Chain A
């Protein structure tokens, strides 16, 4: 195990960058450790900041246990799941850069789900329900929808070169949406038509971008490259 040097101090200083009406306002915050051995998570820091210094600070969280997927923020420019990301002295906490910021650390999220609205139609038949799904299927449903995978996705980036500033849904896809589509494609109760529709939809979202992309990375360790992108590229015949 790699041990980092212990912080001897009773405090930890971080910078919280709040988004306010289009501007980024940094605030220094000194986190008081609750015991000397504590290695607080980013969420602990935000909660204490709200309690002691920034009472109206806006940030998302839910479960505190890396399950609900809503607390993702950028720490030093990289997406991290705030409730399970250990914070170090000097860290910078900010809204996720890959989605439009609303207030402080809160970003708008629903443009992602809306891009699949009405597009994953029912396809299972009731009498097929007693079949087991593959391990790959289950790996995909371990997605917590944290959107950490949007980071550095060239397909997702295309959304921001469009003219419309804040559309209802994103036109271009992202690893999460492709994961949802591949889940349908690998669901044992999906009909052939439904599987094909899922792949067509992936193409509509811009799957060809993946051909020349080094691949995406998931915040909870799902093998996106191997279990989402590769099978989609193969079924869509974009690669052999």
Chain B
């Protein structure tokens, strides 16, 4: 072998320095474990850092927001695919987990009424209560908190610019495996690391880069979490459930895919229109992201899409109302500052002022499925919760089972803290059983040899360019609208890609070898996409983030199930697992209330201007206190930044 391995031992290896990884590392270290945190991006640079920074904190907006209410809200919004044990854990820990970010420097606005974190004026789309807390500087405030958590003490070791290639596992009987550690490519130092650790917390984020540039996430979301876990033998759940954010930008090119707004942005009078300006969705501000995205894509499929393959978001009515109109613009700027900042830079003045329509198109944002875990992030399989990969834990976007068919806005930052902490603790406790574990070095060498073969591979193809082809394929055939024919096409495409892997040119050097990095990520993208096609074919009906043009919608009253995919020696296994349906009575009540709200929204929109203007003005006044005014110049805004300018 040409490569030297650098050997290190830890109790817990955490992969990822976003919200989930950071909380896992901090909690594991507090429990006394020796922890190594690695990330391929610089410390704390992650989806968490670039997010809108809105976090779900139970009961921040109303007293009647009990754990049951929140847990049920997630479960029903996810079409009963979420696992009750996991949604309950989320509801139970949301406040304490949020406080962990605060202990590391996150400072929200404090409500004069509750004396706690102040929630946004309106419930975010699909939430039945106001419970989303926004923050100055959006996700950056979370990025700093995570940075502080890792840097502040000497307890946690961290390495950046490190790509985890694969977990090292041992097989103990018939397909059942135990984690031994991981093989990691340290690009910064030009080294290969053999990290021996009895437990690993996978918190390496999502897969939205499969759809680049039609995504608003970090470039590193190449499906590493899922591909690495699946290759190690873990089961994945609900992998057909990609969340597309409905209102993303289509142009100019530098802004393509970035977030423009959320359903709530549309406020009381916003509607979606097709290219003929016909209304395709009403009461937009009350809808979930999945509903809005599906409405847009169905219109596109029908040939009624806008020039860039989307729809028009029309908020003119909000603006035109003589009295409430002034409140609306304030509302828009304050509720999602960084999304609105994108709009101001990318669109023309009239559009940015909502006097003209916004052309919007869904963008990949989040994978709701993921590694199948229990409420403590432990990998589980089959019917027996002890049959997962021993020593493997997952948290954050990497895990599945919390959101099912739809993730409500603002829940993911909280998810990272809740399940990061739970997984970190569980991993630390598990590792206590393995003091002085004997290391089977051969298992590590076996993984490392694979890399040895790759370095210097000759060929005519380039991984960075193949990635672009994969991205086009995924958008067209595994994207926001799917059917059997397209999914089969993607599978064929993937098997062709696999053949091409051997023709990819890879340089020999170890120091920051971009061709190797691109190759490793390409393989993860292909593996993940393939697993997704199996899940997407298995789910022969539309539900949530999975829209099948060739099948009927799956009714919320039918028997819910999740899809499971796993990699076996020579093939992929796919199956279904039943989920518990929410009591019929509650479902009917939920649906009834929802329909009532939609109807009320529609009626309000159709009222004469004078009447609705007065009603809406009152509502804005109620929801926006005097504190809601934007500061004249926000640091980080285009006005404040040097070298930045409007593009169109």
Which residues of A are in contact with B by a Cβ distance under 8 Å? 34-35, 37-41, 43-44, 50-51, 55-58, 60-70, 80-81, 83-86, 102-104, 106, 108-110, 113, 116-122, 124, 126, 129-133, 135, 137-139, 141-145, 183, 187-188, 217, 219-223
Contact = CB atoms under 8 A, between A and B. Distances in A.
Given A67-B338, A110-B160, 15 more contacts: A38-B252, A40-B253, A43-B254, A56-B507, A57-B514, A64-B219, A68-B49, A108-B188, A109-B160, A113-B151, A122-B103, A130-B117, A135-B631, A220-B635, A221-B637
B45 A62 contact: yes
Nearest to B252: A38
Chain A to chain B: the 6 pairs with minimum beta-carbon distance, closest first: A221-B640, A55-B462, A103-B512, A133-B107, A118-B154, A58-B514
B137 A138 contact: yes
B303 interface: no
Contact of B640 (A35, A135, A220): A220
B338 to A, nearest CB: 7
A103 B254 contact: no
Nearest to A50: B464
Interface centre among B42, B50, B253, B464 (most CB of A within 10 A): B42
B291 interface: no
B573 interface: no
Given A103-B512, A138-B137, A129 B99 contact: yes
Interface string B136-163: 1111110110011001111000001100
Contacts of B188: 102, 108, 110
A56 B515 contact: yes
B152 A122 contact: yes
Given A138-B107, A188-B107, A84 B148 contact: no
A131 B116 CA distance: 9
A144 B643 contact: no
A137 B143 CA distance: 15
B115 interface: yes
B4 to A, nearest CB: 19
Interface string B175-216: 000000000000110000000000000000000000001001
Given A51-B464, A81-B643, A113-B151, A63 B50 contact: yes
28 contacts: A38-B252, A51-B465, A56-B464, A56-B518, A62-B50, A63-B217, A65-B216, A67-B49, A68-B50, A81-B644, A84-B643, A86-B645, A102-B188, A103-B513, A116-B151, A118-B152, A120-B151, A121-B153, A124-B103, A130-B110, A138-B107, A139-B635, A141-B137, A142-B136, A188-B107, A219-B641, A219-B643, A220-B640
Nearest to A41: B254
A42 B446 CA distance: 41
B102 interface: yes
A37 B641 contact: no
A220 B633 CA distance: 12
Majority secondary structure, B binding face:
loop
Contacts of B137: 138, 141-142
Contacts of B154: 117-118
Contact of A126 (B103, B140, B253, B517): B103
B-side interface size class:
35 or more
A194 B69 CA distance: 40
Contacts of B105: 141, 183, 187
A228 to B, nearest CB: 12
Contacts of B144: 141, 143, 183
A62 B644 CA distance: 18
A103 B511 contact: yes
Contacts of A35: 252-253
Given A62-B220, A81-B643, A144-B140, A37 B648 contact: yes
A129 B117 CA distance: 9
Contacts of B549: none
A65 B103 contact: no
B41 interface: yes
A87 B486 CA distance: 39
Contacts of A70: 41-42, 45
A51 B468 contact: yes
Interface in B123-147: 136-141, 143-144, 147
B315 to A, nearest CB: 22
Contacts of A84: 641, 643-644
B525 to A, nearest CB: 16
Interface in B597-648: 631, 634-637, 639-645, 647-648
B109 interface: yes
Contacts of A116: 151
B364 interface: no
Contact of B515 (A55, A126, A137): A55
Interface in B470-516: 507, 511-515
Nearest to A166: B189
A121 B152 CA distance: 5
B636 A106 contact: no
B171 to A, nearest CB: 36
B507 A130 contact: no
Interface string B29-70: 000000000000111111001100000000000000000000
Contact of B141 (A81, A86, A141): A141
B636 A142 contact: yes
B108 to A, nearest CB: 8
A222 B338 CA distance: 17
Contacts of A109: 42, 160
Given A118-B154, A126-B103, A220-B636, A38 B49 contact: no
Nearest to A80: B643
Given A51-B465, A109-B160, A110-B42, A130 B642 contact: no
Nearest to B507: A56
A126 B99 contact: yes
A105 to B, nearest CB: 10
A9 to B, nearest CB: 17
B642 A219 contact: yes
A228 B416 CA distance: 31
A143 B139 CA distance: 11
B130 to A, nearest CB: 18
A221 B636 contact: yes
B629 to A, nearest CB: 13
B147 A130 contact: no
Contacts of B147: 113, 145
B258 interface: yes
B641 A221 contact: yes
Nearest to A62: B218
B563 interface: no
B342 interface: yes
Nearest to B118: A132
Given A141-B140, A220-B636, A132 B160 contact: no
Contact of B643 (A50, A85, A187): A85
A118 B153 contact: yes
Nearest to B633: A221
Contact of A62 (B148, B219, B254, B514): B219
Interface centre among A63, A84, A124, A144 (most CB of B within 10 A): A63
Contacts of A51: 464-465, 468
A227 to B, nearest CB: 9
A136 B79 CA distance: 44
B465 A222 contact: no
Given A56-B464, A188-B107, A61 B219 contact: yes
Contacts of A141: 105, 107, 136-137, 140-141, 144
B118 to A, nearest CB: 9
Contacts of A217: 642
Contacts of B338: 65, 67
A146 to B, nearest CB: 10
B133 to A, nearest CB: 12
Contacts of A126: 99, 103
A132 B160 CA distance: 33
